[in-house]
Amino acid sequence: MTNKYCTALTFNVRRHTPELIAPATSTPREVKPLSDIDDQAGLQHLIPTIHFHRRNPNMGNKDPASVIRDALAKVLVFYYPLAGRIKEGHGKKLMVDCTGEGVLFIEAEADVTLEEFGKTLHPPFPCTEKLLCDVPGSGGIIGSPLVQIQVTRLLCGGFIFTARIYHTMCDGTGAVQFLMALGEMAQGALEPSVLPVWQRELLNARDPPRVTFPHPEYDDVVDMEDNVMAIGEMADTSFFFGPAEMSALRRLVPKNLKTCTTFEVLTACLWRCRTIALQPDPEHDVRLMFFVNVRGMFDPPIPVGYYGNCIVIPCVVSKAKDLCNKPFSHALELVMEGKSRVTKEYVRSTMDLMVVKGRPSFKTSSTYIVSNLTRVGFNKVNFGWGEPLYAGLPNDDEDLPGVYSSYMPSTNDNGEFGIVARIALPISTMEKFVNELNIMLK
């Protein structure tokens, strides 16, 4: 296991004037309602991604900012709802007004090289606030640009691409589908290889709605952890789990749970170590939630090209004392049970709950939330300069520090392929977390 704390690297970024990039040709002017999964309160925020690209001699003197800007106008002809603006209707129902106003784009230069970021690129990254497009007045989902992109040229001839996309419009799979299409247009394609599908009505509540499952993810809970997270400075760190680390964790798995996946083993491990490090009240409930892609659960299946949210967020609960003191199998069984709970009926029940409860946000108190992006494909997005050296989420969520972890595919300094898990905890707690993790990996 290797881990990385944020480096002390600093650099300057010169941003050009922000632009609105509209679709290259006229697009339908219409209002398109979002699904009952899309418009829940917990998804009404921007998801940032960062992509590091090295210089490619085969691209000659082509300017990545110009190439991507031109491709953006072309791809928005197909993804024209992303060039619109969200408005709110009756009962907090969100819809996209397809105005064609465009998406935010910033061209920039930084006085830094890729090499200065280190041999292996793992989050968190320094100075991300300078690399992410963040224009005053562009916050808040109603009436704001739904996609915000910055392309920053580097001294070495490489560049950093960042995108911030409202989660309400698409999940990780949908965001990658859009970015892959942008990359294809940047390389000269006349249309995306996967054409976008809207059809948000496929994920709407039944009439009348029927909530058939308990959904603790949306239940109000008493928070016992915020005071812990608020104490002192946070350490935002990434840990690499390669073949050796996963083999060590699998040795802790009892025979009756050997069918567990890599995600289940790793998530159970991190939830347990994190809880031990935070030292909550032993009698207090602690919660784990994780995003599950449900595209394959429907019959007929969700169409290829659907880029809306097709996810649910099951929640499992344990007494803190049980998670900390019982064998590792306790945590693992809970994770496996939570994942197996997700069926087509569970997804339908979630949609119906949205309508019955007024589109609530999932609750984050005393909760650890994991997003598995290892197979989503951010690392495959290619604008013509080749696949990125690293692509994924840049750092911890400032609004909810220490709550989210994300898993991304990556390599370590030895070139071994594995998973990078990003974790943030108070500095005073991080040392305990690392100690617990080392004990499990022995």
Active-site annotation, residues: 167, 382
- Dig out the tokens for 430 from the structure: 């991080």
Kindly write down the DSSP assignment for every residue of 335-356, as one continuous string. HHHHHHT--HHHHHHHHHHHHH
Smallest CA-to-CA distance from 1 within 186, 167, 240 is with: 240
Strand-by-strand arrangement of the 2-5 sheet: 2-5, 234-241, 417-426, 404-411, 367-372, 285-290, 315-319
- How many residues are listed for the chain in this entry? 442
Other CB atoms within 10 A of residue 126 CB = 18
Q: Is 275:263 a contact under the CB 8 Å cutoff?
A: no
Planar angle of CA 220, 213, 210, nearest 5 degrees: 100
- Contacts of 296 by beta carbon, 8 Å cutoff, 6+ apart: 302
Alpha-carbon distance 379 to 50, whole Å?
Answer: 10
Alpha-carbon distance 175 to 360, whole Å?
Answer: 23
Q: Is 307:174 a contact under the CB 8 Å cutoff?
A: yes
Smallest CA-to-CA distance from 241 within 273, 215, 205, 206 is with: 273
Measured in whole angstroms, how far is the alpha carbon of residue 61 from the centre of its chain? Answer: 33
